[in-house]
């Protein structure tokens, strides 16, 4: 094989796929290479919450752009997007204060949010516990997607738009030569492109292992659970609770955030396991519950192991039950997810020999930020900002 592309994207997760999408929209000839039969990284293991409300100002802008892009694609092809809004539920006066402050910040940014009283929250979110809820902040424009479906459907759609996808194809090496970058794959093919974009998620052992080991990237391991389908029960949108209010970057921009964080116990299980409690109803009526965060540097990824901790699951369940009296907390599935992030910056970007671009480490904001970020990044990489 010796096909020549304008761009080859390595990695069929959400970040790579949206880069391919925007490059196609610019009229470029694009291929996507994915090592697995179908993507099965962070992009299919997550909650599917598209929540610009939780991001700092820079990423909220990318997230808002992502909302438009998801809706635009959904209007042409069903990729499982549902606009049901996101709600942050406060459990005490300090969290209420943060909600009020975030509401003001979003007013100033012209991003719609509505403060809900305790009663409105109880009315709109069935089985929410009266002894938990104090107030809520609702973002009506935000959407949810089904992570186990979305990326596969998006690939199908992009194939009809002219994208070439090669599954079960691991990229083993990239060589910059005079006539473009030559990509050597596990199928023993060489594919040539003007530019290569590597969106390898948290896979650091194949391409440029030394570069990644020396970088500030780290990997987070998350535990997730899914209940059995809830009978005659409907929970709409993304539900984020008090611990998320304390954890999400958006709230760090609130005036009282620092003082409230300073009062938190440093040695709690919440801190030890990085737990915050999220709920989202899946298409089969079950509730997805999570999550926890354990971290390791790139050179030490294997220390994260492949077991899920029963203690963490039990803790998440115990905390969830303080928030919602769900009809059932019987668990049908448990899984682990891994994503990469930078210790000190919001994303990892590195260019080799002008035409090999690495973009990864988008952290916990990939389903929200990737579509918007990659639009700007394709313009930057192909120098199209002013085109």
Ligand X SMILES: Cc1cc2nc3c(=O)[nH]c(=O)nc-3n(C[C@H](O)[C@H](O)[C@H](O)COP(=O)(O)OP(=O)(O)OC[C@H]3O[C@@H](n4cnc5c(N)ncnc54)[C@H](O)[C@@H]3O)c2cc1C
SS3 358: strand
- List the beta bridge partners of residue 132: none
- Angle at alpha carbon of residue 161, lines to 45 and 61, rounded to 5°: 55
Based on the shown chain and the rule CB under 6 A, indicate whether residue 7 belongs to the binding site for ligand X.
no
DSSP sequence for 84-152: --EEEEE-SHHHHHHHHHHHHHHHHTT---EEEEHHHHHHHSTTB-TTT-SEEEEETT-EE--HHHHHH
Based on the shown chain and the rule CB under 6 A, indicate whether residue 31 belongs to the binding site for ligand X.
no
Six-digit token string for 372 = 């918007």
Q: Which stretch binds ligand X (CB under 6 A): 78-86, 114-122, 362-370, 375-383?
A: 362-370
Based on the shown chain and the rule CB under 6 A, indicate whether residue 190 belongs to the binding site for ligand X.
no
CA–CA dist 354, 22 (Å, integer): 20
Tell me the CA distances in angstroms from 143 to 27, 41, 77, 227, one per residue in order: 28, 21, 16, 21
CB of 231 to ligand X, least distance (A): 25
Going by C-alpha positions, the residue among 185, 198, 268, 174 that lies closest to residue 12 is: 198
- The single residue among 19, 21, 48, 346 that binds ligand X, judged by CB under 6 A, is 48
17 or 106: CB nearest ligand X: 17
15 or 96: CB nearest ligand X: 15
Based on the shown chain and the rule CB under 6 A, indicate whether residue 34 belongs to the binding site for ligand X.
yes
CB of 117 to ligand X, least distance (A): 26
Based on the shown chain and the rule CB under 6 A, indicate whether residue 241 belongs to the binding site for ligand X.
no
Going by C-alpha positions, the residue among 217, 213, 220 that lies closest to residue 345 is: 217
CB of 12 to ligand X, least distance (A): 5
199 or 326: CB nearest ligand X: 199
Based on the shown chain and the rule CB under 6 A, indicate whether residue 237 belongs to the binding site for ligand X.
no
CB of 335 to ligand X, least distance (A): 8
- The single residue among 121, 207, 316, 323 that binds ligand X, judged by CB under 6 A, is 207
Six-digit token string for 55 = 């991001």
Give me the residues that bind ligand X (CB under 6 A), please: 10-16, 33-36, 39, 41-43, 45-49, 170-171, 199-203, 206-207, 222, 224, 291, 337-339, 360, 362-368
């Amino acid at each position: 094989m010796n096909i020549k592309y304008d761009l080859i994207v390595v990695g069929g997760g959400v970040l790579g796929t949206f880069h391919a999408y925007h490059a196609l929209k610019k009229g470029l000839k694009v291929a996507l290479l994915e090592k697995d039969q179908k993507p099965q990284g962070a992009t299919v293991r997550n909650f599917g919450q598209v929540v610009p409300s939780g991001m700092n100002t820079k990423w909220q802008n990318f997230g808002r752009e992502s909302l438009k892009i998801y809706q635009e694609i959904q209007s042409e092809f069903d990729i499982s997007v549902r606009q049901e809004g996101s709600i942050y539920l406060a459990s005490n006066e300090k969290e209420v204060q943060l909600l009020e402050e975030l509401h003001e910040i979003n007013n100033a940014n012209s991003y719609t949010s509505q403060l809900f009283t305790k009663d409105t929250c109880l009315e709109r979110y069935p089985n929410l516990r009266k002894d938990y809820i104090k107030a809520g902040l609702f973002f009506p424009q935000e959407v949810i997607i089904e992570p186990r479906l979305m990326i596969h459907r998006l690939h199908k759609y992009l194939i009809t738009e002219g994208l070439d996808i090669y599954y079960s194809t691991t990229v083993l090496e990239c060589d910059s030569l005079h006539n473009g970058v030559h990509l050597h794959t596990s199928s023993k093919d060489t594919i040539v492109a003007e530019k290569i974009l590597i969106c390898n998620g948290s896979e650091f052992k194949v391409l440029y292992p030394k570069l990644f080991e020396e970088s500030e990237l780290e990997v987070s391991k998350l535990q997730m659970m899914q209940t059995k389908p809830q009978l005659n029960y409907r929970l709409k949108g993304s539900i984020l609770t008090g611990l998320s209010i304390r954890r999400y970057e958006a709230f760090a921009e609130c005036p009282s955030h620092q003082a409230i964080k300073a009062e938190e116990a440093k040695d709690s299980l919440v801190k030890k396991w990085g737990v915050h409690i999220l709920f989202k109803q899946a298409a089969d009526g079950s509730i997805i519950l999570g999550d926890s965060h354990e971290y390791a540097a790139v050179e030490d990824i294997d220390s994260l192991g492949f077991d899920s901790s029963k203690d963490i699951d039990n803790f998440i369940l115990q905390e969830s039950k303080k928030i919602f009296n769900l009809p059932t907390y019987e668990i049908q599935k448990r899984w682990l997810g891994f994503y990469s992030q930078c210790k000190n910056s919001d994303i990892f970007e590195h260019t080799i020999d002008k035409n090999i671009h690495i973009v990864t480490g988008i952290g916990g904001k990939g389903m929200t930020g990737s579509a918007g970020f990659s639009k700007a990044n394709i313009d930057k990489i192909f120098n199209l900002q002013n085109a």
